[in-house]
Amino acid sequence: MISVQEAQTIILNLVDSLRETENLELDALTGRILAKSITSSLDFPYWNNSAMDGYGVRFEDVNQGNTDQPITLKIVDEVPAGVQPKISLKSGETCRIFTGAVLPDGVDTIIIQENVQRQKDKIVVSQSPKYCGEFVRKKGDFYRSGDTLLSLGTKINEPEIAILATAQCFPVTVYRRPRVAILSTGNELITPTEKLQPGQIIDSNQYALKSFILKNGGIPISLGIVGDDRDLIKKKIIEGINNADFVLSTGGVSVGDYDYVDKILAELGGKIKINSVAIKPGKPLTVAKFDNGCVYFGLPGNPVSALVCCWRFVKLALDKLSGIEGDHKPKLITAKSDHDLSSGGQRETYVWGQLKLVDGEHIFTLAKGHQNSANLINLGLANGLSILPVGVTKVKQGEKIQVLAL
C-alpha cells in the first residue's frame, strides 16, 4: 500500500490539463473553465454616478454647513438613472439625483435626501458631507479597461457570469468539458428498474458517479453493468479508454477469482501506477494511464468506498484536467469533534458525518449508524469526512480534527 498523499501526487502527475476549447455565449457558461484571461474595453463603473438617492452638489458649496448656519441651494434639474445630464452645475446650485444616475458636470458629492430639507425649488443643508466625493461611484473605481478581469483557469459561476455580462465580454473561450466513462462490474448487479432477486444488489454506483461527474463539470458516459466475464469487461474497458478522458469502473480490482480489471489494463498497455492505497475505506484502488492520455480509475465496488475515492482523489484530478488553475489540494477544515472517533491506525481513515459552523467554530458530528463501506444509507446528508491519520487510533470528543469538506 502507498500513502494517501503519495497516491494524490501520482494521480495529479498523470493528469494533463485539457487544451481543446470552444466559444460559448453567456447562457451556456455556468460551471465552465476559462481557457483565456478576460479583459474588457469598458471601465466599471462606466461613468461617475450616484450611489444614493439625494442631491448632487459642489463640495466647496456645502462643506461649512451646520445647524447654526445652514446652506441653501437652488434645484436646477432632476437627473434620473439612464439619462445623460444636460446641465453643468454652478456655485449655489444643486440637482435632484437618483441611485445609478450619471453625475452632471460640476457635481462632485452627493448629499443623501435624508440630510436635507426641501423647500419647493430649494434645499436647506444643515449637515455637511463628510468629504468630497461622498456617495459618488467614480468611473473605473472597480475596474480599469484593459486590466485582467478574470484569469485563465477561473471557474465560471454566478458572480463571474454577472461580471462577463456587465463588461460585455462574450462569447467566451472555455475548455471543453471532460468526458468520463462509468462502468459497473459484477454478476450480482442489477439496474434500479429490475426486480430484486435473492443475492442480487441494485447498482447505485452508476448513478452516484454520474452525479459526481456532473457536479464537477464533466460529461458522464455510461457503459452500464457488465458481469464477471473477462472478455466482456475487456470490451467495455476498450470502449471507455477510446472514448473518454477518464474511466471510472467499480468492482473487480481486489484479489478475488473474478477480479480481472488489473490484468486487463496491463494487457491493453495501461501503465499501472497504483493498485493499493493505505486509506479506509477505499484500499483496493487501481490507477493506470494509457498512451492516448486516458487515465483509468479502478474503484472499489462498495458504494461508500467508491465515493470516498472520488471525493479524495478523482475530484482533484478532474479539477486539473478541466483546466482549473492553482494548487490542487483537498479542502480541509479544522473542526472540533462532537464524538469519540476510532480507527485501526494502519490506514488513513475517513469517517463521514455533518460539518456545521456553530458560534464561529466548525463542529463535526458523526453520522448515526455503522461506519461501514457497504452502508450507503447513513452517508445521506453527509457533507464532511473527518480524517484519522495513520497511527491515530482514538480521537476524543472535543478534540480538533481535520475534515475533508465535500
Domain topology for 332-405: Beta-clip (2.40.340)
Predicted pLDDT of residue 255:
66
Contact (Cβ atoms closer than 8 angstroms) between residue 267 and residue 234: yes
Grid cell of 338 as nine digits: 462532537
With cell 497504483, the residue in question is 274
CATH class, 49-137 region: mainly beta
Predicted pLDDT of residue 258:
64
Instruction: Say whether domain 4-18+176-322 belongs to CATH 3.40.50.300.
Output: no
Neighbours of 219 (CB within 10 A): 14
pLDDT in tens, 185-226: 999 999 999 999 999 999 999 999 999 999 999 999 999 999
pLDDT in tens, 367-385: 999 998 889 999 999 999 9
Helix (H) or strand (E) holding 309: helix 303-309
Domain ranges of the chain: 4-18+176-322, 21-44+142-175, 49-137, 332-405
Predicted pLDDT of residue 373:
87
Grid cell of 19 as nine digits: 487544451
How high is the mean pLDDT in each 10-residue block of the chain (406 residues)? 97 96 97 97 97 97 86 97 96 98 98 94 93 97 97 97 96 98 96 97 97 97 96 97 98 77 96 97 96 97 96 98 95 98 97 97 96 91 97 98 97
End-to-end CA distance of the chain: 25
CA of 136: how far to CAs of 45, 47, 52, 189, 232, in Å?
11, 10, 8, 66, 70
SS3 249: strand
State the Cα–Cα distance between residues 400 and 383, nearest whole angstrom.
17
Neighbours of 113 (CB within 10 A): 15
Under DSSP, the state recorded for 113 is: G
State the Cα–Cα distance between residues 146 and 208, nearest whole angstrom.
44
State the Cα–Cα distance between residues 302 and 204, nearest whole angstrom.
10
Going through 244-346 in order, the beta strands assigned E by DSSP cover 246-250, 271-274, 279-280, 286-289, 295-299, 332-337, 341-342
SS3 351: strand
Q: Strand pairing partners for 164?
A: none
Each as own residue / partner, the long-range contacts of residues 155-161 (CB below 8 Å, 24 or more positions apart, any chain) are 155/31, 155/32, 155/33, 155/217, 155/322, 155/324, 156/29, 156/30, 156/31, 156/32, 156/33, 156/34, 157/30, 157/31, 158/30, 160/29, 161/26, 161/29, 161/30
pTM for this entry:
0.90
Grid cell of 250 as nine digits: 467499480
State the Cα–Cα distance between residues 356 and 283, nearest whole angstrom.
28
Predicted pLDDT of residue 236:
98
State the Cα–Cα distance between residues 325 and 33, nearest whole angstrom.
9
Domain topology for 21-44+142-175: Molybdopterin biosynthesis moea protein, domain 2 (3.90.105)
Predicted pLDDT of residue 69:
87
Predicted pLDDT of residue 223:
98
Predicted pLDDT of residue 221:
98
Grid cell of 203 as nine digits: 447498482
